[in-house]
Amino acid sequence: ALILGIESSCDETAVAVIDGAAPTLERRIVAQRIASQDEAHRPYGGVVPEIAARAHAEVIAPMVGATLADAGLALADMDAIAATAGPGLIGGVMVGLVTGKALAMAAGKPLLAINHLEGHALSPRLADPTLQYPYLLLLVSGGHCQIIEVQGLGAYCRLATTIDDALGEAFDKTAKILGLGYPGGPAVERLAREGDARAVPLPRPLLGTAEPHFSFAGLKSAVMRARDAGTFAAADIAASFQQAAIDCVVDRTRRAVAQCGPVTALVVAGGVAANAAIRAALQGVAAESGLSLVAPPPKLCTDNAAMIGWAGAERFAMGYSDSLDVAARPRWPLDADAAPVRGAGV
Ligand code: ATP
Ligand code: MG
Ligand code: FE
């Protein structure tokens, strides 16, 4: 099936055409466009919701037309329209969802209201057609930091979450503390390559605890104290921060692997999964337990519409569709109406 995917939950406006039946990643993504708003938000050091919503509204309709033209297809050729319905910045989500509804109505096609986190969670299956359910997913993004047993489409069992900041948020705050600007994750990764990861003593919150939850607020505060001390090079702080984060991720993921049911693979997704050092460390965790690591190419880790179109393709194949009066949701936990939360209930 051919699915038009639309994503606008944060600061990328993205549109894609997905062929759900195609055998390879290259052919599955028939066309995709991403318009980043980085320049618009940079002066403010973070995403400004009102600016984001306006910017989405300005570009989304022409982007739909351009992406269909790239694909050499018309709206009438689509089998369904998939749009992110949450969670995210509500103004932006509404722009994309209303666009999806209007296109679905105009073309007489079914609408699929997609959970942005499901897009991230299933993106590894878009990237690697051999990846089967169930798999153990580390979902690390700007707003989320969770370990989930993905048992099937719509069946997500959360094993762990963060008790304070998300991992991407920790990268973004570290970038801000070090004056690296916005967006922060890639800048911290770049600077970390020039630093000594053992130079600055930093905490590893929750390391070794029984439940595989995360905490990064204390690490961020320690980064701030290290900067304020004035004795460490920024590159050494960046490298030491990244190493501390990796140590936490490795320890927590190891624990989750030990606790979860049988899985086909260890999988990482979300914007932070673009980080090469984190991918390499997780490769080690997977190898220890005889699992393979599946990590989408970096461009499919950060926000994009291909993953939304793909989640739509999986839902369409199962016969799902959503009503045109479905609401945009600023908060929408992945496991809310699917599987019960396992573990400590944080
Ligand atoms: P969510 O998906 O939780 O709603 P989001 O959509 O804003 O949040 P994503 O686009 O999935 O988040 O990911 C963006 C996050 O990933 C940012 O916090 C960014 O700093 C981080 N990130 C991107 N690239 C890298 C990298 N190379 N290293 C570390 N972090 C990165
Ligand atoms: Mg972004
Ligand atoms: Fe995201």
ipTM of the prediction: 0.98
- The percent of residues in the chain predicted with pLDDT above 90, rounded, is 95
Nearest CA to ligand 1 atom 25: 185
Mean pLDDT of 308-333: 97
**Most informative mutation of 37, 114, 122, 141 for ligand 1 (most atoms within 8 A of CB):** 141
Ligand nearest to the CA of 188: 1
pLDDT of res. 337: 54
- Is 39 annotated among the ligand-binding residues? no
pLDDT of res. 314: 98
- Whose CA is closest to 7, among 332, 345, 341, 304? 304
335 CA to centre of ligand 2 in angstroms: 24
Nearest CA to ligand 1 atom 15: 142
212 CA to centre of ligand 2 in angstroms: 27
DSSP 304: -
Is the per-residue pLDDT at 346 higher than 80?
A: no
Q: Is the CB of 168 under 6 A from ligand 1?
A: yes
Which ranges of 128-233 does DSSP label H, i.e. alpha helix? 167-177, 184-192, 217-229
* pLDDT confidence tier of residue 338, bands split at 50, 70 and 90: very low
* Per-residue model confidence as pLDDT tens digits over 101-153: 999 999 999 999 999 999 999 999 999 999 999 999 999 999 999 999 999 99
Measured CA to CA, the distance from residue 208 to residue 189 in angstroms comes to 25
Tokens 């999988």 belong to 267
Q: Is the CB of 86 under 6 A from ligand 1?
A: no
pTM of the complete model beyond 0.90: yes
Query: How does strand 135-140 pair with strand 266-269?
Result: parallel
Is the per-residue pLDDT at 100 higher than 80?
A: yes
Measured CA to CA, the distance from residue 138 to residue 213 in angstroms comes to 11
DSSP 62: H
Is the per-residue pLDDT at 345 higher than 90?
A: no
- Is 312 annotated among the ligand-binding residues? no
Q: Is the CB of 142 under 6 A from ligand 1?
A: yes
107 CA to centre of ligand 1 in angstroms: 34
Written as six digits, the tokens of 168 are 């991407």
303 CA to centre of ligand 2 in angstroms: 6
303 backbone dihedrals φ, ψ, rounded to 5° = -55, 135
Q: Is the CB of 211 under 6 A from ligand 1?
A: no
Ligand nearest to the CA of 183: 1
Handedness of CA 259, 264, 270, 273 (dihedral sign): positive
168 CA to centre of ligand 1 in angstroms: 5
Is the per-residue pLDDT at 339 higher than 50?
A: no
